[in-house]
Amino acid sequence: MQVEEILHAALEIPPAKRESFFNEFCGEDVELRREVESLLAFEENSDDFLNVSPESLAAEMFAEREPQTSLINREIGHYKIKELLGKGGMGEVFLADDTELERLVALKVLPVEVANDSERIRRFVREAKAVSALNHPNIITIYEIGKTNDTHFIATEYIEGETLHSRLSSEQMNLKSVLDMAIQIAGALDAAHRAGIVHRDIKPENIMIRPDGFVKILDFGIAKLIERHSESVEAKAATATKGLTRDGMIIGTASYMSPEQARGKNTDARSDIFSFGVVLYETLTGKQPFEGESAIDTISSIISKEPMPLSQLTPDIPRELNHIVEKSLRKDREERYQTAKDLLIDLRDVRQDLEFQNKLERTASPSREESKIQILSATTSDAVHTTLS
């Protein structure tokens, strides 16, 4: 039986009788049993946790509330609120005027419930400062982290453009555009990871593309810091997420999370690389590699199934790019790219090969204008030869 079949069967059995059920259907397959028990625990104890976005989850953790539309036309510090851009669990995001520097900014106003939790505010500010220190062109720039009265806010650059999600909904990107975008994302992840920051929610909605093709990674709202001490990797991740997540809690968006995220285990830079692989697969094919009728089915697929080979969906993509996607999507993180830097190097090699191939084709196939010149030259030469004869 497959993981999801065992899971759905186990849900129909009273907890007291599940031990014998697992012994019968999982046998000595410890890994299979662990996966089923993990998914079973999430399904039963999460109150439909897997069917909500991380933003909705965070909103539930901090208490539901309506958008602060009353803030429009008001001032928070030297920022005048213009309009609501969006709402998430970590607050509302407004378009605002920076009245001091006379520029538009995106202003994230944190919920009152968060503001009342000093530990959460401390960690949030710490992580926001870490992100602001990155100063990478492909990562959203944080201008200010501040507080006015009881209102905590973060001011970031305002980016005009569209998300990758929006782009994919309207058109199929060509290979050159995909590679240019992928290289920028990998470069941003490399910078974040070297600074000890794991994003944990890489997805098309968090990737902004400007009209000129420049890419920005958004929303480090559920990012975590990797502690740089002598503890084990497991201890580091536990320390980094303390106070922010519950034990065994799934953080991320179901379709884009790594197997370790899907199991509620500790995450590291390689988790972002898996999510990147999912995004790249979807961008190249128009399909997500792991799908299901529900979030629990999707997560089960991430844990136990292999995606349809890229070569079957897009047979014309370079073999090297196919290898990059496959390696990024390995279930075992030890078999993936170990660093975003290695991923970046391979992506650049593919782009260089593509540019070289295009150059060869242009050389081998003269342009229409060049063809006209060659024909005219040949015709003139023949005419001169005939006249002389």
pLDDT of 185 reads 98
Q: Which of the following is catalytic: 98, 180, 190, 201?
A: 201
Same domain assignment for residues 178 and 217: yes
Amino acid type, 289: P
Same domain assignment for residues 151 and 166: no
The verdict on residue 372 lying in a domain is no
Percent of the chain with pLDDT strictly greater than 90: 44
pLDDT surpassing 80 at residue 232: no
Confidence of residue 18 (pLDDT cuts 50, 70, 90): confident
Of 113, 134, 157, the position where a domain reaches its end is 157
Q: What is the CATH number of the domain that holds 178?
A: 1.10.510.10
pLDDT of 8 reads 66
Same domain assignment for residues 288 and 204: yes
Q: Which domain holds residue 38?
A: 3-45
Q: Has 268 been annotated as catalytic? A: no
CA 181, CA 176: separation in Å to the nearest integer?
A: 9
Q: In what order do the strands lie in the sheet with 162-163?
A: 162-163, 207-209, 215-217
The verdict on residue 317 lying in a domain is yes
**Secondary structure (DSSP) of 318-367:** -HHHHHHHHHHT-SSGGGS-SSHHHHHHHHHHHHHHHHHHHHHHHHHS--
User: Using one digit for the tens of pLDDT, what is the confidence trace for 60-112?
Assistant: 433 344 455 578 999 999 999 999 988 765 678 999 999 999 999 999 888 77
pLDDT surpassing 90 at residue 327: yes
Same domain assignment for residues 126 and 195: no
Minimum mean pLDDT range among 164-178, 184-198, 220-234, 299-313: 220-234
| 314 CA to centre of own chain | 22
In the chain, the number of structural domains is 3
Q: Which two tokens stand for residue 32?
A: 């299979």
User: Using one digit for the tens of pLDDT, what is the confidence trace for 128-161?
Assistant: 787 888 889 999 999 998 888 878 898 999 999 9
pLDDT surpassing 90 at residue 329: yes
- Considering the entire predicted model, what is its pTM? 0.72
